[in-house]
């Protein structure tokens, strides 16, 4: 929603089929405010209430959101079918962010010492940054964490004719990106007099996309964001070195049916839309001055991927039959602190930021891995 009025807020209550008290309780506001909306339906809600309503709409089910959209169109005298005409494949421009994490361990200390200090992210992890030096990326950097993790970040700008074209590029580039990131880390280690006796190649790549220029609206935009998040449904990945498109008819069908991944979680609100999934995140700010910035999502993903790589290293040791051992200061209490900082709401956190954070953490399953890694370290080092 660009701007909530009392009438539109009451429309959301009707979709939820809640009483005045139930609806007020859901929003965390005084029931008298809801009653006031009935008396002054055209009054624009306060800025804080706008954010609350944005978050409440984002947390509705897909069916409730669609019912709200149709009723809102009727309220405004618009055709609810207008958005359906835009629900088809089309060209767009995106900013791609790739995160390639790798556990290096204590050998990473000289790189950390040489890096430029950065302010701590949402996980409160100390980190510094070194230049990535990628020849074709719009921007590249190597983020070095004191806990022995490096996260390579690539920012690339793409203009494509379809989501299928972007999906093919995404998966075909992953092998090259991992190889390049491993090579770059080894170069940095040698440059700083570290003997490379460890595999510095990232195990995986996680992508986050900011959707910019496009022609979608309503259901078409939601489908586009879903396909940006989980593009595997558009390509054949049996041969990782030769990923191929499944055909334009597949993407046409996905848009026609309003495809949604069953495990993806939508977030945002009236001023932005986003989708978080296991393999990536997509985001579209509809009003830049009120929406989340992409840098906030990038900051969260940098810390999240660093902690994912760290917890994976710990759990791999357990799976190999070894007692997990970490350097002093980076045991289970370190993970517990990071877990708390990532999952606890902050007094100054906006509703948009909260639903984004919760969606990304839920789909990544990072909180569960952090708890498992904490338990493994606690059991091995009581």
Instruction: Mention every residue, 6+ apart, whose C-beta is less than 8 A from residue 198.
Output: 104, 105, 107
Q: Which of 46-50, 195-199, 371-375 has the highest mean pLDDT?
A: 371-375
Do 168 and 160 touch, CB atoms closer than 8 A? no
Query: In the structure encoding, which two tokens stand for residue 19, read together?
Result: 């009483």
d(CA 373, CA 295): 28
Distances (CA, A) of 364 to 208, 253, 330, 368: 13, 28, 22, 9
Between 144-148, 169-173, 352-356, the lowest mean confidence (pLDDT) is in 352-356
C-alpha to C-alpha distance for 359 and 304, rounded to whole angstroms = 12
Written as one string, the DSSP assignment of 129-174 is EEE---SSSSEEEEEEETTSEEEEEEEEEEEESSHHHHHHHHHHHH
Predicted local confidence at residue 193, as pLDDT? 75
31-35, 167-171, 211-215, 346-350: least confident range: 346-350
CB 56 within 8 A of CB 26: yes
List, for residues 235-271, the tens digit of each pLDDT value: 999 888 899 998 778 999 999 888 999 999 999 876 7
pTM for this structure? 0.78
pLDDT tens for each residue of 263-309: 999 998 767 899 999 989 999 987 667 788 999 999 999 999 999 99
Among the residue ranges 82-96, 212-226, 324-338, the one predicted with the least confidence is 82-96
> What pLDDT was estimated at residue 380?
65
Position 132 scores a pLDDT of 95
Assess whether pLDDT exceeds 70 at residue 231.
yes
Region 62-75: what's the mean pLDDT? 77
Q: What is the mean pLDDT of residues 342-354?
A: 86
pLDDT at residue 381 is higher than 70:
no
Which whole-number Å values give the CA distances from 273 to 54, 68, 126, 193, in the listed order?
10, 16, 30, 46
The residue assigned the tokens 């900011």 is: 210
As a residue count, the chain comes to 382
Residues 207 and 97: their CA atoms lie apart, in Å, by 6
Taking only the tens place, the pLDDT of each residue in 71-109 is: 787 777 665 544 444 578 889 999 999 999 999 988 899
Predicted local distance difference test score (pLDDT) of residue 2: 63
Distance CA 335, CA 341 (A): 10
C-alpha to C-alpha distance for 210 and 226, rounded to whole angstroms = 12
How many C-beta atoms surround the C-beta of residue 198 within 10 A? Answer: 16
Flag whether pLDDT at 149 surpasses 50.
yes
Radius of gyration of the chain (CA): 23
Share of the chain above pLDDT 90, in %: 59
C-alpha span between 138 and 173 (Å, rounded): 15
Tokens linked to 364: 């990544």
131-135, 158-162, 200-204, 364-368: which range is least confident on average? 200-204
pLDDT at 118 exceeding the cut of 60 = yes
Inter-CA distances, 159 with 95, 272, 274, Å: 9, 21, 19
pLDDT at 11 over 60: yes
Distance, in Å, from the CA atom of 5 to the CA atom of 43, rounded to the nearest integer, reads: 5
First to last CA, the chain: 51
Task: Name the helix (H) or strand (E) containing 208.
Answer: strand 206-211
Q: What is the mean pLDDT of the chain?
A: 89
pLDDT of the residue at 157? 96
Please give the share of the chain, as a percent, with pLDDT higher than 70.
93
pLDDT of 341 above 70 = yes
Average pLDDT over residues 185-213: 85
């Amino acid at each position: 929603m660009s701007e909530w009025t009392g009438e539109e807020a009451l429309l959301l209550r009707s979709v939820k089929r809640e009483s005045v008290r139930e609806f007020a309780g859901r929003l965390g506001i005084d029931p008298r405010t809801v009653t006031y909306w009935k008396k002054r339906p055209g009054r624009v809600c306060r800025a804080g209430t706008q954010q609350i309503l944005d978050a409440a709409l984002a947390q509705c089910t897909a069916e409730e959101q669609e019912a709200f959209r149709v009723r809102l169109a009727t309220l405004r005298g618009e055709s609810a079918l207008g958005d359906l005409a835009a629900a088809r494949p089309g060209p767009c421009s995106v900013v791609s962010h790739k995160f390639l994490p790798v556990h290096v361990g204590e050998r990473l200390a000289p790189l950390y010492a040489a890096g430029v200090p950065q302010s701590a992210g949402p996980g409160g992890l100390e980190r510094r940054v070194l230049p990535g030096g990628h020849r074709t990326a719009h921007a590249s950097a190597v983020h070095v964490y004191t806990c022995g993790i490096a996260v390579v970040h690539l920012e690339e700008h793409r203009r494509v004719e379809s989501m299928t074209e972007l999906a093919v590029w995404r998966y075909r580039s992953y092998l090259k990106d991992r190889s390049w990131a491993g090579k770059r880390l080894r170069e940095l280690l040698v440059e700083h007099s570290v003997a490379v006796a460890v595999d510095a190649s990232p195990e995986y790549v996680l992508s986050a996309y900011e959707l910019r220029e496009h022609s979608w609206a309503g259901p078409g935009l939601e489908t586009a964001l879903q396909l940006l998040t989980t593009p595997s449904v558009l390509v054949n990945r049996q041969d990782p070195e030769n990923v191929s498109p499944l055909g334009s008819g597949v993407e046409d069908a996905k848009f026609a049916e309003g495809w949604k991944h069953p495990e993806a979680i939508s977030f945002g609100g009236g001023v932005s839309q986003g989708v978080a999934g296991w393999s990536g995140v997509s985001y579209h700010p509809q009003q830049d001055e009120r929406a989340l910035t992409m840098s906030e999502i990038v900051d969260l993903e940098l810390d999240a991927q660093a902690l994912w790589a760290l917890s994976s290293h710990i759990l791999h040791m357990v799976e190999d039959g070894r007692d997990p051992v970490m350097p002093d200061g980076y045991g289970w209490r370190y993970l517990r602190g990071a877990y708390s900082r990532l999952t606890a709401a902050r007094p100054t956190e906006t509703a948009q930021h909260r639903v984004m954070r919760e969606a990304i953490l839920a789909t990544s399953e990072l909180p569960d891995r952090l708890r498992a890694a904490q338990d493994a370290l606690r059991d091995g080092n009581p």
